[in-house]
C-alpha cells in the first residue's frame, strides 16, 4: 500500500481527515494511520473509497498508476449492450440449430405467424440497424 496515494486522493477531493472519516463511518485516527502506513483499509472501506474517489482499488492502494475513472462512459455502456445482444442472439441461434427438423419447422411456423400478427396489428418493429454475420467453423 502507498500511504501517500491515500493522502493525495483525500486532498485532491477536498476532504480533511475528519470529513473523510465521517463519510466512511470510521474514526479519524484510522484515516491518519492509513496515511502514515500503519494500517491498510479493509476491503469494504476500499470499495467505498473507490466509489467516493471514482478510482480503482489498485490505484488507491498505489499498485497501479492508471487513474482512469471506474465508471463506464456512454460509449462503453453502449458497447456492453451490443455485446449482450450479440451473445443473446448467438445463444438463440445455437439452440435453434440444435433442434431436430420437426422442432425447427415449429419454430419457423411460429415466427412466420407472429410476424403476420405484428404486421396486421401494426406493431412490427423493423430492424434496419442490425447486421448479422454467421461464421460456420
Q: Which residues form the domain of 100?
A: 74-121
- Check whether residue 81 and residue 32 sit in a common domain: no
Q: What is the pLDDT of residue 70?
A: 84
- 60-115 residue pLDDT tens: 999 999 998 888 888 988 899 989 999 999 999 999 999 999 999 999 999 999 99
pLDDT of 137 > 80? The answer is: no
- Check whether residue 16 and residue 55 sit in a common domain: yes
Q: What is the mean pLDDT of residues 44-55?
A: 94
Q: What is the pLDDT of residue 132?
A: 81
Q: Which three cell numbers stand for residue 91?
A: 445463444
**Helix intervals (H) in 37-136:** 43-53, 57-61, 74-98, 101-121
Domain count for the chain, please give it: 2
Beta-carbon contacts of 65 under 8 Å, excluding residues fewer than 6 positions away, are: 59
Q: What is the mean pLDDT of residues 126-131?
A: 84
Amino acid at each position: 500500500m502507498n500511504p501517500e496515494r491515500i493522502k493525495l486522493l483525500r486532498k485532491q477531493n477536498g476532504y480533511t481527515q475528519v470529513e473523510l472519516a465521517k463519510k466512511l463511518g470510521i474514526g479519524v485516527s484510522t484515516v491518519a494511520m492509513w496515511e502514515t502506513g500503519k494500517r491498510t483499509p479493509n476491503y469494504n472501506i476500499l470499495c467505498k473509497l473507490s466509489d467516493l474517489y471514482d478510482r480503482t482499488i489498485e490505484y488507491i492502494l498505489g499498485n497501479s498508476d492508471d487513474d482512469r475513472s471506474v465508471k463506464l462512459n456512454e460509449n462503453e455502456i453502449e458497447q456492453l449492450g451490443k455485446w449482450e445482444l450479440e451473445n443473446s442472439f448467438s445463444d438463440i441461434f445455437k439452440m435453434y440449430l440444435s433442434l431436430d427438423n420437426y422442432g425447427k419447422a415449429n419454430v419457423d411456423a411460429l415466427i412466420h405467424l407472429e410476424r403476420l400478427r405484428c404486421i396486421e396489428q401494426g406493431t412490427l418493429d423493423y430492424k434496419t440497424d442490425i447486421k448479422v454475420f454467421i461464421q460456420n467453423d
